[in-house]
């Protein structure tokens, strides 16, 4: 049985994410860090885009946001093509039509088979050489807190996620086991200007999320 899309769980986003005005500012710094792998000259797609904190910070010739919840904020941003759909099945997007796909805190809400299906669909829509950018909890770093989110259905570490990306037609070009704190409800949201310093640090205290970037192979 397919997992229920996380954004369809009543009240989930308001409980887990809350109304955090600084969240978008945090992501503006994160996107700056990720810019070498985001192709602004081609379409950028965010799956499971939720409130739009990520896609809203990206400057590209075409921005596409997909979420299963028609009320998700990302679907209603100016100059963003908002599509109500399941990222495991995106027939409205042509093969090789996207330059970059971003998945922030998405795959852990799917079971293992659905996660692989989702990444396979991302591979289909990505142009050869395009990048899949994944940010999500690293179970290796946050095992005690991982299932505090009742919608988490699968477990990934930096090793298992990189392996999944590889078998799905990508070459892993970047892997950072320690990338960001587990939640923006951390000290970073109160001092978003510290984010560049945090990302430049070799230690990254309180890190609970990882970064894996795959490049679509020919």
Residue 10: inside a domain: no
Residue 211: inside a domain: yes
Can you give the pLDDT at residue 55? 98
- Tokens 């669909």, residue located: 121
Classify the C-alpha dihedral 57-191-211-129 as positive or negative: positive
Domain CATH number, residue 88: 3.40.50.150
Distance of CA 62 to the CA centre of its chain: 18
Residue 2: inside a domain: no
Can you give the pLDDT at residue 117? 98
Count of structural domains within the chain: 1
Can you give the pLDDT at residue 3? 37
Query: Which of the four pLDDT bands, split at 50, 70 and 90, describes residue 19?
Result: low
Query: Which of the four pLDDT bands, split at 50, 70 and 90, describes residue 103?
Result: very high
Tokens of 24: 């978008």
φ, ψ for residue 119, nearest 5 deg = -65, -35
Can you give the pLDDT at residue 122? 99
Q: What's the pLDDT tens digit per position in 164-215?
A: 999 999 999 999 999 999 886 655 555 778 899 999 999 999 999 999 999 9
- What whole-number distance in Å separates Cα of residue 37 and Cα of residue 50? 21
What CA–CA distances, in Å, run from 184 to 2, 106, 137? 28, 15, 12
Residue 3: inside a domain: no
Can you give the pLDDT at residue 21? 65
Residue 188: inside a domain: no
Residue 197: inside a domain: no
- Asked if pLDDT for residue 8 goes beyond 70, the answer is no
Q: What's the pLDDT tens digit per position in 73-84?
A: 999 999 999 999
Domain that holds residue 143: 34-182+203-216
Residue 20: inside a domain: no
Residue 25: inside a domain: no
Are 48 and 66 spatial neighbours (Cβ–Cβ below 8 Å)?
yes
Rounded to two decimals, what is the model's pTM?
0.91
């Amino acid at each position: 049985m397919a997992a229920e899309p996380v954004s369809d769980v009543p009240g989930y986003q308001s409980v887990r994410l809350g109304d955090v005005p600084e969240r978008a500012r945090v992501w503006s710094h994160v996107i700056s860090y990720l810019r070498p792998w985001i192709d602004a000259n081609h379409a950028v797609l965010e799956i499971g885009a939720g409130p739009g904190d990520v896609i809203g910070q990206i400057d590209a010739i075409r921005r596409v946001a997909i979420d299963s919840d028609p009320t998700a904020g990302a679907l209603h941003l100016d100059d963003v093509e908002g599509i109500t759909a399941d990222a495991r099945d995106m027939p409205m997007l042509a093969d090789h039509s996207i330059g970059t796909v971003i998945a922030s805190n998405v795959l852990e809400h799917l079971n293992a088979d659905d996660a692989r299906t989702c990444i396979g669909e991302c591979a289909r829509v990505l142009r050869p050489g395009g990048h899949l950018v994944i940010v999500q909890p690293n179970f290796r770093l946050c095992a005690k807190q991982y299932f505090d989110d009742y919608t988490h259905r699968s477990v990934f570490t930096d090793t298992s996620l990189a392996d999944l990306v590889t078998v799905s037609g990508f070459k892993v070009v970047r892997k950072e086991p320690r990338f960001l704190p587990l939640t923006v409800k951390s000290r970073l949201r109160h001092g978003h200007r510290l984010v560049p310093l945090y990302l430049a640090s070799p230690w990254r205290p309180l890190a609970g999320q990882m970064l894996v970037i795959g490049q679509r192979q020919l």
